[in-house]
Structure formats: structure tokens, C-alpha cells
């Protein structure tokens, strides 16, 4: 059985973690297969948005603790999280059930998070004597307020979907998995209407700018704006708007 199922259609790559018997806990092969999918998204001009989800009763409970005991586990975060850190194309996480540990870290690495009403979130590494190894100590306090982030990190506790929405961890809460995937694809479809190169520049400008002092971040925005205004797509976008038609984007 494939540990990760990858499907592509109409500019979207769907990545589904497929280890339902262990609530989609990830071993090295699983992490590498997900990283391969994000490499494909980044390098294929025909792919513009990623959606990641989980099979069975969970999104992902994190790293497979049994596998961590093996010699193969050394360096398991060396590919996936650096890959996601430097991506230019947007990724949506569609979360149901458990989203814990490394599963939460994968969700935090995505641009947009949505979940079902039964979803719950936590960072339980501290209960194992670990700390997060996939940038969870850095991403969580950048995503939700510091106090709630530290409480989750220090205690290994969990929050439900309503708290996740209240804290800004997720954008939308849906009643079930069918509605969840409909919403993920609807958001992806809206992104596909935008200029591909502008979306990529937008992502890097926003995310890179967050870690800069404001004057430097403003310069980055100006550089990105000036670059895009020199492209054919900027002219096409304005012309299509004036002519009341869909634009024909060229750059990928």
C-alpha cells in the first residue's frame, strides 16, 4: 500500500497521507514521499497549488514513535521541512481528526489551514522528552498568540476546532470531510484565477518580510512590485480587466 497517495488535476496536486492504521504517523519513507510531492509542485509549471490531507480518522498524529527507535530515523526532518520553508507555491492543509506533533508542524508549514469540527490540535513532543523538530517551536508562536502557543508547547495539551479558529490557527471549520475537501478545492480554484508568478512573488514577499524589520520588508515589497510591473502578465491583467474577460497568463 502506498504510504502517500498523490493525484494531479487542473493545476492542483493532492497529497494524501495514507497510513490510516497508525493514524497517519509518518516514518522516513512517508516524510520523503511528501517532500517528493512538494518538489514536484515546485518544479512543474503546470502545478500551481497543493492540498494535503490524511486518510482514515486523522490528518496526521506526527512522527511514528516506533520508527524513531530505528537507526534509519536519524535526520528524518532534513528534507521535508526545509523544502516547505522555501516553497514559492501555496499549499492548503485540509485537516480532520488528529493533527498532532509532526502533523501540526506540517499544517503550520502550509499557507492556509482548514479543518472539520472533529479536528483537534496539539504538540505532544514534550511528553516524550522531545521538543518539536520540524520548526514547531518557531512557527506556532508566529501563527497564534504567544501565551496559548507556549501553553500548548509546555504542556503537550490539545485544542479543538473552535479554539483553533478563535486563535487563528485555521481559516475555516467545516462540518465533515466532504465539505472540507470542497472548501479546499474552492480556495485552490480561486488561487488558480490569479497570476501564477504574482502568487509566487506574493508568498515569498509576505513570508520573507515577516522576519525582516519593517523598513527592509517595505523595500522587499517594492522590489517585488517593480519586478511584476515589468512582466507581460501585469499588462495582460489590466487589459483583461478592461475588456471584461478572463486573463491569459503566460508566466509560470
Residues marked as catalytic? 105, 125
Listed in sequence order, the residues at least 6 apart from 136 whose beta carbon sits closer than 8 Å to its beta carbon are: 101, 104, 105, 108, 123, 125, 153
132, 125 Cβ separation under 8 angstroms: yes
What is the signed CA dihedral for 175, 199, 103, 80, rounded to 10 degrees? 160
| CA-to-CA separations, 5 to 1, 30, 53, 110, in angstroms, rounded | 9, 10, 10, 18
Residue labelled with grid coordinates 522528552: 129
Q: What angle do the packed helices 214-229 and 196-210 form, to 10 degrees?
A: 170
Note whether 24 and 58 are within 8 A (CB). yes
Among the listed residues 15, 153, 130, the one whose alpha carbon sits nearest the alpha carbon of residue 68: 130
Amino acid at each position: 500500500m502506498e504510504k502517500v497517495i498523490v493525484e494531479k488535476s487542473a493545476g492542483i496536486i493532492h497529497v494524501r497521507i495514507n497510513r490510516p492504521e497508525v493514524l497517519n504517523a509518518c516514518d522516513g519513507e512517508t516524510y520523503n514521499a511528501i517532500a517528493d510531492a512538494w518538489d514536484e509542485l515546485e518544479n512543474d509549471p503546470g502545478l500551481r497549488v497543493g492540498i494535503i490531507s490524511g486518510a482514515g480518522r486523522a490528518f496526521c498524529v506526527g512522527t511514528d514513535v516506533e520508527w524513531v527507535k530505528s537507526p534509519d530515523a536519524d535526520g528524518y526532518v532534513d528534507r521535508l521541512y526545509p523544502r516547505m520553508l522555501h516553497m514559492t507555491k501555496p499549499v492548503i492543509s485540509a485537516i480532520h481528526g488528529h493533527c498532532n506533533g509532526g502533523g501540526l508542524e506540517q499544517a503550520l508549514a502550509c499557507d492556509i489551514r482548514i479543518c472539520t469540527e472533529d479536528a483537534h490540535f496539539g504538540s505532544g513532543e514534550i511528553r516524550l522528552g522531545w521538543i518539536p523538530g520540524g520548526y514547531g517551536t518557531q512557527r506556532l508562536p508566529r501563527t497564534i498568540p504567544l501565551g496559548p502557543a507556549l501553553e500548548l508547547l509546555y504542556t503537550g495539551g490539545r485544542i479543538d476546532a473552535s479554539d483553533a479558529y478563535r486563535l487563528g490557527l485555521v481559516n475555516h471549520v467545516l462540518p465533515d470531510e466532504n465539505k472540507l475537501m470542497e472548501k479546499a478545492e474552492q480556495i485552490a480554484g480561486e488561487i488558480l484565477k490569479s497570476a501564477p508568478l504574482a502568487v509566487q512573488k506574493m508568498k515569498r514577499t509576505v513570508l520573507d518580510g515577516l522576519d525582516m524589520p519593517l523598513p527592509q520588508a517595505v523595500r522587499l515589497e517594492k522590489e517585488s512590485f517593480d519586478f511584476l510591473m515589468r512582466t507581460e502578465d501585469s499588462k495582460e491583467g489590466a487589459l483583461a480587466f478592461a475588456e471584461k474577460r478572463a486573463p491569459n497568463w503566460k508566466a509560470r
